[in-house]
Amino acid sequence: MGRIIVANRRGHQLVEWDADTDTEEAREGIVEAERILREARDKGCAVSKKVGGQHVLDDGGFDPYAEEYQIIAPIAGG
């Protein structure tokens, strides 16, 4: 089970998907997760990926077998 931590004013909310189950619903979950990451990046967000137990900012493509992604807010000065 993979998940995206969407950091927002609610603290964070989760988007989850299951890459190990071959059902229409599971496939849709993966497509939706990938879409959310792409949309966030297009809007200037960064994305971190949990690698070896640690979050690292990541520019790679969506990995459905990743354990966890996090959407990181764009930053601005002032």
Binding positions for other proteins, rule: CB under 8 A: 5-15, 36, 39-40, 43-46, 48, 53-57, 70-78
Nearer to other proteins, 61 or 77 (CB): 77
Nearer to other proteins, 14 or 60 (CB): 14
Residue 33 contacts residue 5 (beta carbons within 8 Å): no
Minimum distance of other proteins from residue 23's CB (angstroms) = 21
Residue 68 contacts residue 52 (beta carbons within 8 Å): no
Minimum distance of other proteins from residue 60's CB (angstroms) = 13
